[in-house]
Amino acid sequence: MITYQPGDLVVDYSFSRPSPAVLAGAEVRGVFRYLWDGNVPDAAPGDKIITRGEVRELTAVGLDLLLVHQRTTDRTTGTYELGQADADDAANAAGVLHYTGPLVAAVDFDARPEQVSAYLGGWAAQLERRGHWPGVYGGVRIADRWGAAGWFVWQTEAWSYGAVSAHTHVLQRIGLHRLAGLGLEETIDENDVLRSFAAGLPGIHTPNTPLPRPPGDPTVTTWLYRMPAGNYYLTKGFRTRRLFDDGTEAAFLIAQGLPVMQVADEWVEKAILARAIPE
């Protein structure tokens, strides 16, 4: 799980597959990728949807993931019930990845709020039942309307007429290619983070190297993970355990510049955590 800050660079792409290593080397923090239904396939050559193999490649170089649901450009003009059904699909796919961030519905045309309000009403209602933060992609009118309701907002400069909503978390740039020279400028869109938010996969981790040993605990030699808000945890063998309530171990690790992880559960199997990067 990553906390994005203003100024962070995020990219999105559909059918292209830029090198994750090149993206990471360009200081990209996260990648918007697409869901289609409730499945995350192992491979889908030529398709725009995220695959498990791609997730493994992205997370292996420390890139985080943001998820957007889109089937057709005008699908969000559908009914409340269609919005609910698509939200269920998105939540199911997110569950496969143990993804904890916002789920974004793509309003991929110059829409008026009343054209998409029924669908987005169903989208939000169902996502809230499933424990997810509803998000929306669109122009400034969409950003203003649903951002004011507390949604995650991914605004595009297209259909925004030069205006940026005060509610926008991420702004998609049109025709801006700061990554020129890396062979990426024609295949991806660049996005600027404007407002802080937390999102992503729980399995983003540090390299698997021995860690400094906290005093009195010689067994700490494995992984650290960043997880959703909760208590600090540290992996040990095939289990994780809660750090001391006074935070001394957490403070020691932070002092070493290491990202301690956070989870809400008392005990978590390491094998479950590993499913964040599915085989």
Confidence of residue 191 (pLDDT cuts 50, 70, 90): very high
> Would you say residue 269 has pLDDT above 70?
no
For residue 20, give every residue at least 6 positions away whose Cβ sits within 8 Å of its Cβ, in sequence order, or none. Answer: 57, 58, 60, 61, 63
Give the Cα separation of 78 and 120 in Å (integer). Answer: 9
> Would you say residue 272 has pLDDT above 70?
no
Give the Cα separation of 170 and 163 in Å (integer). Answer: 14
The domain 2-199 having CATH identifier 3.50.50.60: the answer here is no
In degrees rounded to 5, what are phi and psi of residue 251? -65, -40
Tokens linked to 38: 């409730």
DSSP string across 85-118: HHHHHHHHHHHHHT--S-EEEE--S---HHHHHH
Return the pLDDT at 219: 38
Q: Domain ranges in the chain?
A: 2-199, 202-279
> Would you say residue 253 has pLDDT above 50?
no
pLDDT digits (tens, 9 = 90+) for 122-169: 999 999 888 889 999 999 999 999 999 999 999 999 999 999 999 999
> Would you say residue 69 has pLDDT above 90?
yes
- Cα dihedral 224, 230, 232, 238 sign: negative
Give the Cα separation of 87 and 104 in Å (integer). Answer: 9
C-alpha separations of 265 from 14, 49, 128, 206 in Å? 35, 31, 21, 21
Mean pLDDT of the chain: 75
pLDDT digits (tens, 9 = 90+) for 7-31: 999 999 988 888 888 898 888 999 9
Confidence of residue 202 (pLDDT cuts 50, 70, 90): low
Burial of 181 (0-12, 13-18, 19+ CB in 10 A): exposed
